[in-house]
Amino acid sequence: MEENENINRKAVWDLEKADAERARMMKESLRNVLDPELGYSVIDLGLIRNVVEEPGRVLITMILTTPFCPYSGQLIEEVRQAAWDALEKEAFVDLRFDPWDPEMMEEGIDLDWGLY
């Protein structure tokens, strides 16, 4: 599947396919990383597009809700720390500039932001 075909779909991590329990631990840790403006976690917003665990490291593919997010550095560092907390491995964040869409959010998240 082409990467661009996956833009508006829910993220499916390679880690979920390889080790569901470690993926669950990672998601729970990342739920503590909140977007300071929206108040939702990077998991709730669907910003973590993929997680791949390799020997000695974790590779995280991440997007932002807006390409000019003033909190991008803070979010990236918090994602790296959350990955360490969950899997005790050094994490590398591959920040992509794919467009974010509310359809990427987890099911059941309230969209009442007063924007629509």
Does 5 have pLDDT greater than 80? no
Q: What is the pLDDT of residue 113?
A: 55
**What is the per-residue pLDDT for 114?**
52
* Domain range enclosing 81: 12-99
Report the pLDDT value the prediction gives residue 116, as an integer from 0 to 100: 47
pLDDT at 12 over 80: yes
Per-residue three-class SS string for the chain? CCHHHHCCCCCCCHHHHHCHHHHHHHHHHHCCCECCCCCCECCCCCCEEEEEEECCEEEEEECCCCCCCCCHHHHHHHHHHHHHHHHCCEEEEEECCCCCCHHHCCCCCCCCCCCC
The answer to whether residue 28 sits within a structural domain is: yes
How many domains in the chain? 1
69-92 tens-digit pLDDT: 999 999 999 999 999 999 999 999
Instruction: With respect to residue 108, please indicate whether it lies within any of the assigned structural domains.
Output: no
